[in-house]
């Protein structure tokens, strides 16, 4: 199986902040070595969101602002999106203002619509984003978690009214979730929209440590009583998915490399992503050691033919149980 030049790497900060069980990097002292490592290893793009960490909106942005990340990184964030009615003109303006204040900056690289608000007309939302763009609040308009048909609708609205068009789409993509290759990517390519893959290793699924006993999930990232846990649980907590991921973990153990690293390297070097189209991969970390492990996996390069093919075939093992690329 052939490999390709690696796409751009972006650091995701969903684990930054306070007030949430998912906030593992809570203060400047803990975060500073992580920031120093990113700089030392030439990772200059950082991604966050108004919603991070889940359960404590705005805390991640405040910490990044305290760290001075906007002074050296290409920083992107996302507007409030997870409740119906958040994408009104007033809601967009307020969210953008709150993000920039928390980040202690006047402008970010990409401002995303984090998820569809299907209650507010898309035209109102696009008009509001265009207004903020023309005020110089962000350099690029991004969208995330929309269906391919919704992408077409948004582009059509923007073209009709002369609004700034989205140039980046951030979505789920990994060896398990691949429906975007046929359903979404052709639309993005046609409109010149780059794809940024989040969850490139399926939030730790390929470690082989996910228990199939539901009673063992309480308090973990897979706990479906939490907002983010329900997303992960619904996407991945299925017998066929867990079994397929275990085949990768077992192959990795035999080869002396983690299943997580195999999945990450497949997404980066062997998937349908394309540096030519400006695609990128987001990697996260809940500790300094985890960041180093992920960056080391990136730097390890493409997989050998046998391992690349094994990981690529995981999607066939999962079949219809694979989650969608959108929400």
52 is known as an active-site residue? yes
Residue by residue, DSSP assigns 85-100 as: TTTSHHHHHHHHHHHH
Q: Which of 52, 112, 196, 325 is catalytic?
A: 52
Q: Which residues, other chains included, contact 165 with Cβ-Cβ below 8 Å and sequence gap of 6+?
A: 141, 155, 158, 159, 191
Q: Which residues, other chains included, contact 263 with Cβ-Cβ below 8 Å and sequence gap of 6+?
A: 174, 175, 200, 201, 202, 205, 206, 245, 248, 311
Q: Where are the beta strands (DSSP E) in the chain?
A: 8-12, 45-47, 74-79, 108-113, 138-144, 168-172, 194-198, 280-283
Q: Helix %, strand %, coil % for the chain, to 5?
A: 45, 15, 40
DSSP label at residue 207: G
Q: What torsion do the CA atoms of 317, 229, 109, 75 make, to the nearest 10 degrees? A: -110
Residue 160's alpha-carbon distances to 63, 74, 140, 168, in angstroms, are 39, 30, 19, 19
Strand partners, 9: 281
Which is nearest to 64 in space by CA: 47, 80, 81, 51?
A: 47
Residue 187's alpha-carbon distances to 146, 149, 181, 183, 271, in angstroms, are 12, 9, 10, 8, 17
Q: Give the residue numbers marked as catalytic.
A: 52
């Amino acid at each position: 199986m052939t490999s390709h030049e690696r796409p751009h790497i972006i650091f995701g900060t969903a684990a930054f902040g306070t007030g949430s069980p998912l906030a593992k990097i809570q203060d400047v002292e803990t975060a500073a070595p992580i920031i120093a490592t990113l700089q030392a290893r030439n990772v200059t793009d950082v991604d966050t969101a108004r919603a991070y960490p889940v359960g404590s909106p705005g805390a991640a942005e405040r910490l990044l602002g305290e760290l001075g990340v906007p002074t050296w990184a290409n920083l992107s964030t996302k507007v409030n999106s997870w409740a119906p009615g958040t994408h009104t003109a007033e809601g967009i303006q307020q969210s953008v203002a709150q993000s920039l204040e928390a980040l202690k900056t006047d402008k970010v690289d990409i401002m995303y619509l984090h998820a569809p608000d299907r209650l507010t007309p898309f035209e109102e939302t696009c008009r509001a984003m265009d207004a903020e763009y023309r005020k110089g609040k962000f350099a690029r308009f991004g969208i995330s978690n929309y269906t391919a048909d919704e992408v077409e609708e948004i582009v059509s609205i923007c073209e009709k009214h002369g609004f700034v068009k989205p140039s980046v789409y951030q979505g789920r993509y990994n060896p398990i979730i691949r429906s975007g290759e046929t359903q979404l990517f052709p639309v993005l390519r046609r409109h010149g929209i780059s794809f940024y893959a989040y969850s490139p290793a399926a939030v730790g699924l390929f470690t082989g440590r996910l228990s199939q006993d539901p009673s063992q999930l309480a308090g973990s990232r897979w706990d479906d009583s939490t907002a983010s846990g329900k997303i992960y649980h619904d996407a991945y907590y299925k017998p066929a998915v867990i079994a397929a991921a275990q085949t990768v973990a077992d192959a990795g153990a035999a080869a002396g490399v983690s299943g997580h690293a195999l999945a990450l390297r497949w997404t980066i070097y062997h998937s349908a992503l394309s540096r030519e189209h400006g695609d990128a991969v987001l990697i996260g970390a809940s500790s300094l050691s985890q960041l180093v492990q992920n960056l080391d996996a990136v730097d390890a390069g493409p997989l050998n033919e046998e391992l690349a093919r094994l990981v690529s075939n995981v999607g066939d093992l999962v079949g219809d149980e694979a989650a969608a690329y959108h929400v």
